[in-house]
Amino acid sequence: MSKLTDVPKRILIGRALRSDRLGETLLPKRIALPVFASDPLSSVAYAPGEVLLVLSIAGVSAYHFSPWIAVAVVVLMFTVVASYRQNVHAYPSGGGDYEVANTNLGPKAGLTVASALLVDYVLTVAVSISSGIENLGSAIPFVVEHKVFCAIAVILLLTLMNLRGVKESGTLFAIPTYVFVAGVFTMIAWGAFRALVLDDTMRAPTAEYVIKPEHQGLAGFALLFLLLRAFSSGCAALTGVEAISNGVPAFRKPKSRNAATTLALMGLLAVTMFCGIIGLAMATKVHMAENPAADLFRDGVPVGPDYVQHPVISQVAEAVFGEGSFLFIVLAAATALVLFLAANTAYNGFPLLGSILAQDRYLPRQLHTRGDRLAFSNGIVLLAGAAMLLVWIYGADSTRLIQLYIVGVFVSFTLSQIGMVRHWNRHLSTERDPAKRRHMVRSRAINAFGAFFTGLVLVVVLVTKFSHGAWVALLGMCIFYATMTAIRKHYDRVAEEIAAPEGPPGDDIVRPSRVHSVVLISKIHRPTLRALAYAKLLRSDTLEALSVNVDPAETKALREEWERRGIDVPLKVLDSPYREITRPVIEYVKSLRNESPRDAVSVIIPEYVVGHWYEHLLHNQSALRLKGRLLFTPGVMVTSVPYQLQSSEAAKRRARRRQEWNAPGSVRRGPAQERAKESSQST
């Protein structure tokens, strides 16, 4: 049936890749870093700006708090990194936050984390793309002028790439990420050099602007609240830190050690860039307002609605490298690119998490099988759809989207850290070796602090951002949570219903004693003859051919040919005053069942196999409907005897291609063989 949808897909998505070709190689640290860290690293492109934006509410004077906020973010970053280094050591199999929470805190917590992560992935796409567009826009004005359009275009592009099953190569990630990092560091270094050594004054394009504070001279609690809000905006820099902990299996041995090192390296890079950019922003007097149109003044007049407020990183770059200079352009491009890559990571994470959830029967089971194109496609399309919706609703404005962003992240941080504490407790209760114990206690302490701190931040984020949009994220989480619980309930109910009682097979089921086989015949041709031949092979107790009389003439002809060919199977013809096919057959089958309730009826249907969906419309329709109905009739089994028409070759090829498809995110999950070996143990 998927044939129908297949044609357009083919056109868009093109020929797919062989899945065995995927990542036979494990990732060295230098590649693993960009592959897993593009998300957290790229977030320094917007996080610093968000801090300034919030502070600007209390007027530019509040900017001098920014270093302190930066410090807070740094401390948080180190905490989180330290905590996840423990995860990495504890779960070398690459147990993500979901598994950690699930195994240590039970399914409810696990499901909460899962919902949080799913929402998070959606927002990663929305935020990263929007911010990427804004950065690109600082170099190419057209892009910001058609922000939403461009953002959605990029999302569509990524979606197609991932549906296409593009083989995600380490280098693809490495180059832009390293260019970005290098660029930012050059900027910081060169900026520092100019400021301190050459001592020449660098001015951001908005340096001369004046900010009209929304609340003049905030103080006391109000100020504190504002600072907390600024801080939680800054926390955007931590998004995606957990990525590595999911990807441990993809690392070279010693996996855990390498992963931990990479994690640390990533944290170090991130905080340095974060602080560097904040510092330069101060030095170059960047002025950003939460709603520039009204609160930002150029020569005494408000800049007005069509003023485009460029991201802090590009303003700084402009100040340091000079407007439109080569390096400025390069950095802008690299920033945009790395942000798009960050979005792409969600395309890998989302379906992957989906398949894990499916394993636990929280999502349709078919999402479970890996490399199953349809499964992943569904996930990808869902993700893209949700992201595009958000981008469209929020006008691709990263600032507004970020309000939704950080909740999910910290929900999963907190729960996974609490889970880790439990984890260590459990192990400590059994572990006797003092050295190991000491180590565990240390880890537990770290995780405990992590849990406490991230939990605190979560509260802060909720309090400061709830009305600004965090509630949307929470709503999203609830929806995911509810849906998944419902699905799980359904599966459990069914499992209960079909559970087999103990004792020899099927004792409880009325074990049929005999089979009465019926071959459906419309005309006499190869398909029906084959069906008859096969039916005979299955030595059922009785066998008869069944035809429905919709056209007396045809029926007559059929009977005659039947005689002439001397087919040694009795032919029964049902009358059908309404020229129906389904009803008479169903009723006949039912009557058979009534005559001898302990018998099973096996209905054998000859079927054409065709190559194209439009051919499908021309064949088997009544057979299909009949099968559909028969399935509802108890004590019946339905056998299709396919007859492959020449045209079916085409479809066969298509099906093969669809199967030889490469699931996204293979690299970050490590080579498939490996994992298979690890777990294979059957004949």
Residues 469-528 that bind a second copy (CB under 8 A): 487, 490-491, 494-495, 497-500, 502-506, 508-509, 511-512, 514-515, 524-528
Let me know: does 499 contact 137? Beta carbons within 8 Å.
no
Site string for a second copy, 310-349 (x = CB under 8 A): ----------------------------------------
Residue closer to a second copy, measured from CB, 436 or 572: 572
Site string for a second copy, 627-666 (x = CB under 8 A): xxxxxx-x-xxxxxxxxxxx-x--xx--x---x-------
Judged by DSSP in three states, 219 sits in coil
Burial status of residue 466 (CB atoms within 10 A of its CB: 0-12, 13-18, 19 or more)? middle
Judged by DSSP in three states, 394 sits in coil
Q: Shortest gap between Cβ of 588 and a second copy (angstroms)?
A: 12
Dihedral sign computed on CA atoms, order 242, 246, 252, 253: positive
Q: Which of 332, 573, 592, 667 binds a second copy (CB under 8 A)?
A: 573
Q: Which of 116, 226, 532, 543 binds a second copy (CB under 8 A)?
A: 532
Considering only residues 137-196, where is the footprint of a second copy by CB under 8 A?
none
Q: Which of 172, 192, 459, 567 binds a second copy (CB under 8 A)?
A: 567
CA atoms within 13 A on the CB side of 537: 8
389: left (phi over 0), alpha (psi -120 to 50) or beta: alpha
Residue closer to a second copy, measured from CB, 3 or 298: 3
Q: Shortest gap between Cβ of 594 and a second copy (angstroms)?
A: 17
Q: Which of 537, 591, 594, 595 binds a second copy (CB under 8 A)?
A: 537
Residue closer to a second copy, measured from CB, 142 or 632: 632
What whole-number distance in Å separates Cα of residue 325 and Cα of residue 337? 18
Q: Are strands 515-520 and 542-549 parallel, antiparallel or unpaired?
A: parallel
Q: Which of 539, 591, 594, 595 binds a second copy (CB under 8 A)?
A: 539
Residue closer to a second copy, measured from CB, 308 or 557: 557
Residue closer to a second copy, measured from CB, 325 or 483: 483
Question: Among the candidate windows 100-108, 407-415, 464-472, 675-683, which touches a second copy by CB under 8 A?
Answer: 675-683
What whole-number distance in Å separates Cα of residue 504 and Cα of residue 87? 46
Considering only residues 345-384, where is the footprint of a second copy by CB under 8 A?
359, 364-366, 368-372, 374
Residue closer to a second copy, measured from CB, 20 or 145: 20
* 115: amino acid identity, one letter: S
What whole-number distance in Å separates Cα of residue 619 and Cα of residue 640? 14
What whole-number distance in Å separates Cα of residue 543 and Cα of residue 503? 33
* 36: amino acid identity, one letter: F
Residue closer to a second copy, measured from CB, 213 or 642: 642
Q: Which of 566, 591, 594, 595 binds a second copy (CB under 8 A)?
A: 566
Question: Does residue 594 touch a second copy according to CB under 8 A?
Answer: no
Tokens 């992201």 belong to 387
Closest C-alpha to 633, from 518, 540, 544, 551: 518
Residue closer to a second copy, measured from CB, 13 or 535: 535
Instruction: Tell me how many residues contact a second copy (CB under 8 A).
Output: 112
Q: Shortest gap between Cβ of 484 and a second copy (angstroms)?
A: 12
Taking every pair of C-alpha atoms in the chain, what is the biggest distance, in angstroms? 108
Residue closer to a second copy, measured from CB, 215 or 652: 652
Instruction: Write the secondary structure of 439-453 as one string of H (helix), E (strand) and C (coil).
Output: HHHHHHHHHHHHHHH
Considering only residues 406-445, where is the footprint of a second copy by CB under 8 A?
none
Kindly report the CA angle at 49 between 45 and 51, in degrees rounded to 5?
Answer: 125
Q: Shortest gap between Cβ of 624 and a second copy (angstroms)?
A: 7
Residue closer to a second copy, measured from CB, 140 or 569: 569
Considering only residues 225-264, where is the footprint of a second copy by CB under 8 A?
none
Tokens 């039916």 belong to 535
Q: Which of 441, 478, 533, 557 binds a second copy (CB under 8 A)?
A: 533
Residue closer to a second copy, measured from CB, 91 or 661: 661
Whether cis (ω within 30° of 0) applies to the bond prior to 634 is: no
Q: Shortest gap between Cβ of 208 and a second copy (angstroms)?
A: 56
Judged by DSSP in three states, 683 sits in coil
Q: Shortest gap between Cβ of 262 and a second copy (angstroms)?
A: 27
| Rg of the chain, C-alpha, whole Å | 32
DSSP state of 565: H
Q: Shortest gap between Cβ of 600 and a second copy (angstroms)?
A: 6
Question: Does residue 17 touch a second copy according to CB under 8 A?
Answer: no
Let me know: does 273 contact 317? Beta carbons within 8 Å.
no
Q: Which of 223, 329, 428, 672 binds a second copy (CB under 8 A)?
A: 672
Considering only residues 595-624, where is the footprint of a second copy by CB under 8 A?
600, 602, 604, 607-609, 615, 617-619, 621-622, 624
Residue closer to a second copy, measured from CB, 308 or 479: 479
Residue closer to a second copy, measured from CB, 261 or 639: 639
What whole-number distance in Å separates Cα of residue 214 and Cα of residue 294? 10
Query: In this structure, how many other beta carbons lie within 10 angstroms of the beta carbon of residue 124?
Result: 30
What whole-number distance in Å separates Cα of residue 370 and Cα of residue 261? 29
What whole-number distance in Å separates Cα of residue 472 and Cα of residue 405? 10
DSSP state of 647: T
Considering only residues 276-295, where is the footprint of a second copy by CB under 8 A?
none
430 alpha carbon, distance to own chain's centre:
37
What whole-number distance in Å separates Cα of residue 77 and Cα of residue 56? 24
Question: Does residue 590 touch a second copy according to CB under 8 A?
Answer: no
Q: Shortest gap between Cβ of 606 and a second copy (angstroms)?
A: 9
